Every structure is written in C-alpha cells, then in structure tokens.
Structure 1
C-alpha cells in the first residue's frame, strides 16, 4: 500500500463513503447509484460491500448532477461526460506526442 501522503494526492483513491460523496456533490445516494448503473462511475467496494468513491469520481458525479439539473437526461449527461473525458485524454496524448517530436527534431 502507498504511503499515506501519496494517497492524499491520489485522485483515484476511494476515500469517500456514499454519504460523504452525496454531501460533497450535492447529489442523493440514489443519484450516485444511478451513475453506477449508467456506467459513468464504478465505485470501489469495501470488504463489507459499501461503495467508496474517489475525488475523480466525485468530479464526474458533480458534472452529471449539474447537467441533469439543467435538464439533460441522465443517460445523455453520462455519455457526454465520458466523451469529453476521452477527448481530453486524447488531446493530452497528442500534446505529449508533439512535445516528443519537437524534442527529437531539436
């Protein structure tokens, strides 16, 4: 297991219970369960079977809640967020590739 200070900085460490995640995101526990069903986030399960959420997952849940609050259907909001994250990841990879190309050319 990573040292505690590393876990504090780990965006993917499942540190938050369902109740705390709902409080932080302003969403209900039922809404968080629906995000799991919609495959936007899959929370970690503790040994006792309780859902645990990471900071990254809380950001996604908050984005989904904001979109749903503005009238977007839950399934559409989840799909949009997934596609936005895939695009952001692809752009990061592309920028990294371009930096390597420029470094190799220099």
Structure 2
C-alpha cells in the first residue's frame, strides 16, 4: 500500500507532507497535485480545507477533486457560495 499526503497553503506552496509530490496553483481556487511516482491503480483521495483563520468558516466551504489519476489529481476549493477562492487544504492519497 502507498500513501501520499500533504498540507498546502493558499498560494500552492507545500507546508508539510510526505515529500513525494508537487503542487501548482493553476487558477483561482484550482490546484494540480502531481505524484513523483505514479500509483499502479487510481488512488482514493480525501481532503479538507484548513487554516482559514476564522471560526466563522462555513461547513459548506469545501474541496472537490474533479480529476484523479495514477499520476496526480486536481483540487478545487472555495466558499460556500460556490466561488473559487485560494484556500489552504490538506489531502491524503492512498492506493496500490
């Protein structure tokens, strides 16, 4: 089993993690995460927005993974109103 994980700041910089991935902020609220070595099969990816620095953050603020592949995934983050916004997030990818 293989696990890749990370904490990403709103600018797309890696704060911490497993060290075997890259991140690029490709648009407002849109990120592309690449794995240094591909999984054999498409992994499961889970995540959440983090470090919003406000206790008023809505539970409707969310993260979505529109594309998950053996070589990486895309992540969209933003506000409860559906707007794309640069936000910090964390993720875990697990698979074979």
Structure in which a larger fraction of residues adopt helix = 1
TM-score tier by shorter-chain length is under 0.3
TM-score, structure 2 normalization: 0.23
Structure in which a larger fraction of residues adopt strand = 2
Larger Rg: 1
TM-score, structure 1 normalization: 0.22
